[in-house]
Chains A and B, each alone.
Chain A
Amino acid sequence: MSMKRRAFLKRTSAAALAAGVPLGRAEDVAPKAQAGDTFDSDQWALIAAVQDHLLPSEPDAPGAREINATAYLDRTLADPKLDPETRELIRNGIGWLNEIAREQAQAPFPEVEPGAREDLLRYIAASSAGERWLSNLITYTLEALLADPLYGGNPGGIGWRWLEHDPGRPRPTPDKVYGRLGRT
């Protein structure tokens, strides 16, 4: 019954990108082996490092690594029904962060030390497109934390356990998850 104002899928507009952030392009990153459905291995490494910073692992609480946040995002972005501009935004953001890391820290983002990572992400967040990029990454990371494990995150319900959340029953079956239900 609540008003569903889903704002997280806001589209990227050209104007929003003109906010002082140097634009890189995802395609500039040389493709390497061992890629996912969406990311090549460099992109994967950068996204994993960012997610690790957004939802850090702790001894008593799962972080992005434990919830398979990067694999979840990689798979989610491969959904043919996804708004193509969301996919483009995520890829573009990888380019921006690469560029900024090279300029300001003289290293690829995954090799930048944690304190400096925070500065780089704050810098990115200061532009509206960069802010939207980070907002989307947080959204998908939290989905990976709390979605049914069938979607590739939250292995064994680790996120639910951390938050003492009972996900209810019946649990979805692999043939009737989003993307498959009603297709048969």
Chain B
Amino acid sequence: MSKDYDVCVIGSGAGGGPVALTLAEAGYSVVVLEKGPWLKEEDFFKDEIACCRRSTYTPNLIDERHVLEEPDGEGGWDAASTFDSGWDWWNGTCVGGATNFMSGFFHRMKPDDFRLVSAYGPVKGANLADWPISYEDLEPWYDLVERRVGVSGRVVTHPHQEPRSSTDFPFPPTAEHPVSQWIDRACRELGYHPIPIPRAILSVPALGRNACAYTNFCGSYGCSTGAKGSSRAALLDRAVRTGRCEIRPRSMASRLVSDRRGQVERVEYFDDAGEVGRLDARIYVVACQAIETARLLLLSPGRKHPNGLANNRGQVGKNLLFSAGGSGGGDLAYVGRPPEQIAQLKVRGLFVNRALQDWYVHPDPNTGAPRKGGTIELLFRHANAISRALAQKRDENGELIWGKPLKDRIKAYFTQGRHLRFETFCDWTPVDDCFVRLDPREKDKWGLPVARVRLGYHPRDLDVGRFLARKGVKVLERLGAENISWGVSGAPPQNLVAGGCRFGSDPETSVLGPDCRAHEVENLYVTDGSFMPTGGSVPYTWTIYANAFRVAQGLVEELGGKRG
């Protein structure tokens, strides 16, 4: 029977782009369904209102929301919709998805991250699992991402440097802020090993794209030059140019319809006018970011899938992951510094790009046994002016400040120093109480149940987060920072999300097989971060890109190899 397309990809972010490009280049017809609009370089500006104060690149919370369950402190759960709480959980609803708005801090996972149980043993109360593939299996694809998405960096020797098949990055590091040298000196005095952070940002014109313009507004902003390696700029634009990839923006996939054998026979979606569209393909690839991917499968029951597509073992939505850890910061005041240092501090636009991985694995302070730690990244506070001003509107006791005191405080904050921060990234230990299901009451503007997410976490994550944060504080102290504060919380960062459709060899405990094909559905794949049983102690995007390229190559082979 003839199909509309060879492959239908649902979602256009880090999981969807590599699949669309690989299949289109191999000669197959691809359609990409994307819920949001198709914004391009010429639509992105340094506009804090559009970027960060309103829902411009994401749905309005009146129309579409999540329901979040947080621990109530007494063993139960407090549920609130994101419309009520104001805690927006959308990360980028447009062609290219959240990769448009990432900072592009790119780290690979390390070999032991693929086998946490084997390497460090089980953790009580946690659902740790080894990956069904190894670092060596994924390494060629990490390498491919460096060249195809474009990763700028410089390899340095440090105690936890992972093995690489290529000697160095294909593009030189992005230009560095003068304070990076200060950080290097402070870290070395402390005996630490500062690492230049690889960035998915082109430092030189390449791959048909411009280099970075260093305009000081990167994370949370769409890139106006094309230097940022979003799925759109780096992969989908190229896929479309093959003539075999069609992107349908403003198309919200609402259901995967399965046949009597349990295979997907078509996808239904709502178009911009709210009309139902339908299309079919030989293969369906879901990549809507972990929470929405689980939601789409749960919204798609069929005769062979009464509890949602690929969910006969009740695994869909389980073992959701975030990035654990915390953050801290301090002020590098101008007062008392020589003029040349002040001038250095005032430089705008260049990247700090420094990380520490000295404690990626370290002895457990209680037992002495090796345990997983994580990554510390150093960066200036985001340059957004409104958010920096708003951070001054309450005093230490949380009381509102106004009038001249408010003005004086804002003026001092903006003009008397720079605020240097650190963020820590540790493993989010998978637990039973961190999962996605359909909300029984709240619906979106199409009448579909929204995702309800329980946000439980493992206390271990706070321990490790505190351990790392104290190291970050030491660096700030060595730099002479003032007003240092730090915090570690079990509340997850909603933009660093994975898990929910684990891959594994055992269908009883995983949704996907090692090739990211659903155990229960022959023509269904999931290629966003959902597949990850554990996430390493780094941001996920590079790993998602690499794995999606890996899966896509398998799809090419399954469909009969490269055509033409």
Contacts and interface: CB of A to CB of B under 8 A. Distances in A.
Given A81-B60, A181-B39, A172 B393 contact: no
Contacts, number: 154
B49 A147 contact: yes
Given A1-B423, A181-B39, A162 B411 contact: yes
A65 to B, nearest CB: 13
Interface in B371-430: 382-383, 385-386, 389-390, 393, 400, 402-404, 406-407, 410-411, 414-415, 423
B50 A181 contact: yes
A142 B47 contact: no
Nearest to A118: B403
A131 B393 CA distance: 12
B519 to A, nearest CB: 34
A142 B390 contact: yes
A176 B44 CA distance: 9
B385 A163 contact: yes
Given A6-B88, A131-B400, A165-B385, A55 B47 contact: no
Interface stretch (B21-29, B51-59, B297-305, B433-441): B51-59
Contacts of B393: 135, 138-139, 142
A62 to B, nearest CB: 9
Contacts of A10: 85-86
Given A5-B87, A8-B390, A166-B348, A58 B407 contact: yes
Contacts of B49: 143, 147-148, 151, 177-178
Interface string A111-142: 00000001001000100000100110011001
Residue among A5, A6, A168, A178 with most chain B CB within 10 A:
A168
Given A134-B400, A165-B385, A176-B43, A1 B86 contact: no
B248 to A, nearest CB: 15
B215 A168 contact: yes
Contacts of B382: 2
Given A135-B400, A146-B48, 18 more contacts: A3-B494, A5-B87, A55-B403, A56-B407, A143-B53, A145-B389, A147-B386, A148-B48, A167-B385, A168-B46, A168-B383, A169-B215, A170-B45, A172-B47, A177-B50, A178-B53, A181-B50, A182-B37
25 contacts: A2-B382, A3-B493, A4-B88, A4-B495, A6-B87, A6-B88, A7-B86, A9-B86, A53-B402, A138-B400, A138-B402, A142-B410, A143-B49, A146-B389, A147-B48, A148-B49, A151-B49, A163-B385, A163-B414, A172-B50, A178-B47, A179-B54, A181-B50, A182-B43, A182-B94
Interface of B: 37, 39, 43, 45-50, 53-56, 60-62, 83-88, 94, 103, 105, 213, 215-217, 219, 224, 327, 348, 382-383, 385-386, 389-390, 393, 400, 402-404, 406-407, 410-411, 414-415, 423, 491, 493-496, 539
